[in-house]
Amino acid sequence: MPPPALYNPTMAGAAILGLGACLPERVMENEEWTRWVDTSDQWIRERTGIERRRICGPDESSADLAEAAARAALADADCPIEEIDEIVVATDTPEADCPDTAAFLQHRLGARPVPTFDLAGSGCAGFLQALDLCCSRLATGRRRVLLIGVEAISRQMDWTCRDTCVLFGDAAAAVVLGRPQPNRPEVLAVTAGTDGSRAPILGRMIGGNRIPFSAEVLKQEHWSAVVMKGREVFKEAVTRMAEAGRAALELAGLSLDQVDLFVPHQANLRIIEATGKALGLPLDRVFVNVQEYGNTGSASVPLALWEARQAGRIPPGGIVLMTAFGAGFHWAGAVARF
Ligand code: UT7
């Protein structure tokens, strides 16, 4: 029997035509959290590696960040918006409860009346899960798909819950995908998996049908709190991201020796290091930017990919391994050749 991460292999592939990102201007240093909760810069650095994060301004929201990231990716791809056949947004902090963020973007970007949708609920695995889906869409008729990972999580988290609030940051990053073509960076394989038995230990349980928003719920002290059993999530994240990484490489017919850069989900420096170690990848082949942005959920992997490329960390023809893990539990791995 194949391992769970191989349940949903995508071998369709996709060209990566352009990348873009958007970061809110406001930088929040660790020290600033001491005004809100009983914490310290030292604790946050030692336990997470995070030094600062970006926070949305009062007038900034998910659609603003997503739009700017999308425009940057379209420009990078030299792709007019008219050529986009579908828009997919991976987010758990959408512009509104309904309709989805993707609908706002279709209008704001001036896209044709193409299908658009949000993929929500998989936390930090959202972008790679959506990439899996987009590869299939390209294999079944779409020519160009715009995929955006965005979180404005500072708007929805509990600023008095020290267990979680210090971990997150706001960001968006986008990719323009096309059908595979010569001399273009290409997604070679994607694999994704789910274990719903652990759903209650990571997520936001309020706002759905089980516990709808009500005047009573909103009066509770931690109504918006992210639920997270940190240590359990930590261990599972390492195991599943390593597993997904190996599975994606196997699908692509590549080995760990051939990986030029590992771009994991950026939740915690210790998780990143442990996953690199589990895969036997030295730290100089692991991309890390969690110190600058914290955990940006669905934006984390594309933001890291964008920054790695900007920093010249991906050689021409280089093999990039990506992995992510989030609420659900959902996880995913992808391999790309640049
Ligand atoms: O992206 C997917 C979703 N999330 C993750 O991947 C996160 C996974 N988990 C983690 O990154 C880590 O488990 C945390 C960073 C959340 C916590 O680190 P830890 O080393 O596992 O710490 P812990 O939960 O065992 O807590 C240690 C102590 C506790 O105090 P006691 O019980 O030992 O007295 C906490 O109350 O640290 C305390 N603590 C804090 N202290 C200062 C928790 N948060 C803070 C804080 N500042 N912000």
User: Would 314 be classed as within a structural domain?
Assistant: yes
Q: Is the pLDDT reported for residue 268 higher than 90?
A: yes
Domain end marker among 133, 151, 182: 182
Same-domain pairing of 165 and 227: no
| Nearest ligand 1 atom, CA 295 | 1
Pocket flag, ligand 1, residue 39 (CB < 6 Å): yes
Same-domain pairing of 236 and 307: yes
Number of domains the chain is built from: 2
pLDDT at 7 over 50: no
> What is the rounded distance in angstroms from the CA atom of residue 330 to the CA atom of residue 123?
8
> How many residues appear in the chain?
338
Contacts of 212 (CB under 8 A, 6+ apart): none
Residues whose CB falls within 8 Å of the CB of residue 317, separated by 6 or more in sequence, listed in order: 337, 338
CB distance 47 to ligand 1 below 6 Å: yes
| 168 & 196 share domain | no
Helices (H) and strands (E) in the chain, counts: 10, 13
122 lines ligand 1 (CB under 6 A): no
Spacing, Cα 297 to ligand 1 middle (Å): 17
- Verify whether ligand 1 is closer than 6 Å to residue 290 (CB atom): no
The model's pTM is 0.96
The CB of 237 under 6 Å from ligand 1? The reply is: yes
Q: Give the distance (Å) from ligand 1 centre to CA of residue 168.
A: 13
Residues 28 and 105 in one domain: yes
Which of 287, 275, 281 is CA-nearest to residue 325?
Answer: 275
**Ligand 1 atom closest to the CA of 124, numbered from 1:** 1
101 and 46 within one domain: yes
Q: Give SS3 for 86.
A: strand
Q: How confident is the model at residue 239 (pLDDT cuts 50, 70, 90)?
A: very high
Q: Tell me, what CATH number does 63's domain have?
A: 3.40.47.10
Could you report the per-residue pLDDT of 316-330, keeping only the tens digit for each? Answer: 999 999 999 999 999
Kindly give the pairing relationship between strand 319-326 and strand 261-264: parallel
Cα 59 to averaged position of ligand 1 atoms, centre (Å): 31
Verify that 67 and 80 share a domain, yes or no. Answer: yes
Range of the domain at 103: 14-182
Tell whether 249 and 311 lie within a shared domain: yes
Residues 270 and 244 in one domain: yes
| Residues 238, 314 within the same domain | yes
Active site residue ranges: 124, 265, 295
Query: Does 199 score more than 70 pLDDT?
Result: yes
CB-count exposure of residue 4 (10 Å: 0-12, 13-18, 19+): middle
The distance from CA 117 to its chain's CA centroid, rounded to whole angstroms, is 16
Residue 289: other Cβ atoms inside 10 A: 18
Q: Is 4 a member of any domain?
A: no
Cis-peptide into 329, omega within 30 deg? yes
Average pLDDT of the chain is 94
Burial class (CB in 10 A: 0-12, 13-18, 19+), 112: exposed
Identify which of 37, 47, 195, 239 to mutate to test ligand 1's pocket (most ligand atoms within 8 A of the CB).
47
User: How distant, in Å, are the alpha carbons of 26, 115, 245, 315, 318 from that of 322?
Assistant: 28, 27, 7, 16, 13
Of 152, 182, 212, the residue at which a domain comes to its end is 182
**Residue 1's pLDDT band (boundaries 50, 70, 90)?**
very low
Domain boundary among 182, 197, 215: 182
Q: Are 73 and 125 within one domain?
A: yes
Of the candidates 316, 320, 314, 317, the residue with the CA atom closest to the CA atom of residue 334: 320
Percent of the chain with pLDDT over 90: 86
Q: Are residues 97 and 168 in the same domain?
A: yes
Cross-strand partners of 175:
19, 147
pLDDT for position 13: 84
For residue range 89-132, list pLDDT tens digits in order.
999 999 999 999 999 999 999 999 999 999 999 999 999 999 99
Residues 196 and 83 in one domain: no
What is the average pLDDT across 246-252? Answer: 95
Query: Using 50, 70 and 90 to split pLDDT, how confident is the model at 8?
Result: low
Test site for ligand 1: of 128, 163, 240, most ligand atoms within 8 A of the Cβ: 163
**Pairing assessment for the beta strands 319-326 and 52-55 based on DSSP bridges:** unpaired
Cβ–ligand 1 distance for 125 under 6 Å, the answer: no
Confidence band for 221, pLDDT divided at 50, 70 and 90 = confident
Q: Report yes or no on 241 lying in a domain.
A: yes
Whether 233 is in the pocket of ligand 1, judged by its Cβ within 6 Å, is yes
Distance in Å, CA 163 to ligand 1 centroid: 6
- How many whole angstroms from its chain centre is CA 115? 22
Vertex 154 angle, CA 203 and 299, to 5°: 70
Give residue 4's pLDDT: 47
Residue 8: inside a domain: no
What is the torsional sign of CA 279, 283, 284, 289? positive
**What's the 246 CA to ligand 1 centre distance in angstroms?**
28
Distance, CA 225 to ligand 1 centroid (Å)? 15
